[in-house]
Amino acid sequence: MIIFAHGADTFRSRRFLQELKNKFTDRVDPGATSLSVVDGQTADLKEISDQANTGSLFVKKRLIVIENIFKNKKETLFTALPDYLKKFSVDEDRIIIFRDEELNTRDKPLKTAGKKLFVFLSQQPYSQEFKPLTGNQLLSFLKKETAQYKKDISAPAALRLIELADGDLWTIAGELKKLAFRVTAPTIERADVDEMVAGSFNENIFALTDAWSVKNKKLAAGLLEEQYAAGLGDEYLLTMLIRQFKILLQIRSALDTKMNPGEMPLALKLHPFVVKKGIGQAGNFSQAVLKDYLNRLIRLDFLNKTGGGNIKTELILLISGL
C-alpha cells in the first residue's frame, strides 16, 4: 500500500502522518520493530529497497515513512521509483507513506523526472493533498482544537487569533495550547487573545533570531528558555525558527541582488513589517551562513520527528556555537 500526503498545510499533513504511525504501533506493532523512517532528501533506491524488504520474525506488516523525497538531488531516483513502487500498490502488508510539502505548483515547480513520480503517487488510492484551511474550515479547526483541552473559544476570539497568526496552523495550535492552560474560564474570549497572544509569537521569534544575528549567546539562550517555560514544544519552536530563517534567507538574497527594500514585500510575498524587521537581521548574515543554519534546523526537525535526539539540548548547543 502506498500513501501520499502532501501540501502547503504541513501541520495537518504532519498530524495525519503521526496518527497513521500511532495506529500502526497500537494495532500492529507495539514495539515499532517494523516501522522505519527514511530521510527522503538523502535516500537512494537501495536504502528504500532495503527498508521495504527488511522483515520481522514477529510482525507480518511493515511501515516505511519517507519524508521530503522531492527535495532529493538524485534525478535518477525519481525516474526509477515509479516502476519500483508499482508492486507496493497492491501489497497490504508493506505500507509506504510519502510525506512532502507543497509540490508541483507555480511557486514549487517540479522538474520532468520529479513530475513523473508526483503523478504516480498522486494516482494512488490513498493520496491526499493538504491545502491551507480558510474561512469556516479554519474556524471549525479552532473549535475542535480548543475542545481537546475541554475549552470553548468565542467567534471573536477565534477570528482574532486567525488574524494574528495569519492563518498559520502551527502558530494557532501553539497559541491555543497556551491559552487553554492560562484561561481559567470555560470559554476563551477575544480579550484573552489580545492580552496573552497579540503579537507575542512574532516578537518572541524576532527577538530570538535578533539575538542570534548579533551572536548574543546569553540572550538567545535565555529567550529560548522563556519559550519552553511558556509551554511551547519542540515541534512548534523548530517550525517557527525554520520559517523565520527561510524568511531571512529570502531577504538576504533580495539584498544581494540590490532589490529596493520597498519592493520586497510584494516580490517576496511578505508583510512590510516582517521585511522591515528582517532586513536588520539578514544584514548580519551571509547567504551561506543562513543556509547552514537552516539546514541544521531542518536536520533537527527530522531528528525530532524520528525521536532521534533531545531537541532543547541540540538548540542550546547550536546557540552556544555562535
CATH number of the domain at 224, please.
Answer: 1.20.272.10
**Contact indicator for 105, 115 with CB cutoff of 8 Å:** no
**Contact indicator for 34, 59 with CB cutoff of 8 Å:** yes
CATH number of the domain at 172, please.
Answer: 1.10.8.60
User: Pick from 129, 155, 188: which residue ends a domain?
Assistant: 129
Q: Rg for the chain (alpha carbons), in Å?
A: 21
Q: 116 with 179, same domain?
A: no
Model pLDDT, residue 279: 92
Residue 92, phi then psi, degrees to nearest 5:
-80, -15
Would the pLDDT of 322 be above 80? no
**What is the extent of the structural domain holding 313?**
200-320
CATH number of the domain at 81, please.
Answer: 3.40.50.300
Q: 250 with 294, same domain?
A: yes
Model pLDDT, residue 85: 95
Give every CB contact of residue 1 below 8 A, 6+ residues apart in sequence: 88, 89, 91, 92, 94, 95, 96, 126
DSSP state of 66: E
Residue 307 binned pLDDT confidence (cut-offs 50, 70, 90): low
User: Pick from 165, 180, 196: which residue ends a domain?
Assistant: 196
Q: In the predicted model, what is the mean pLDDT of residues 133-154?
A: 94
Q: 179 with 112, same domain?
A: no
User: Pick from 196, 219, 248: which residue ends a domain?
Assistant: 196
Would the pLDDT of 25 be above 80? yes
> The dihedral of CA 193, 160, 204, 180: what is its sign?
positive
Model pLDDT, residue 310: 84
Q: Which cell numbers in the block locate residue 278?
A: 528582517
Q: 187 with 284, same domain?
A: no
Q: Report the interhelical angle of 287-305 vs 311-320 (nearest 10°).
A: 160
pLDDT by residue (tens digit) across 92-119?
Answer: 899 999 999 999 888 788 989 899 999 9
Match 470553548 to its residue by C-alpha cell: 152
Q: Return the number of other C-beta atoms located less than 10 Å from residue 18's C-beta.
A: 12
Q: 238 with 255, same domain?
A: yes
Domain count, the chain: 3
Q: What is d(CA 184, CA 197) in angstroms, rounded to the nearest whole number? A: 16
pLDDT by residue (tens digit) across 154-206?
Answer: 999 999 898 888 788 888 888 898 899 999 999 999 999 988 875 555 577 88
pLDDT by residue (tens digit) across 246-296?
Answer: 999 999 999 999 999 889 988 888 878 788 888 989 999 999 999 999 999
Q: 10 with 125, same domain?
A: yes
DSSP state of 197: T
Q: 227 with 179, same domain?
A: no
- Outline where the chain has alpha helix (H): 10-27, 45-53, 75-85, 112-122, 135-147, 155-165, 169-182, 190-196, 200-213, 217-229, 234-256, 264-268, 272-282, 287-305, 311-320
Q: 6 with 125, same domain?
A: yes
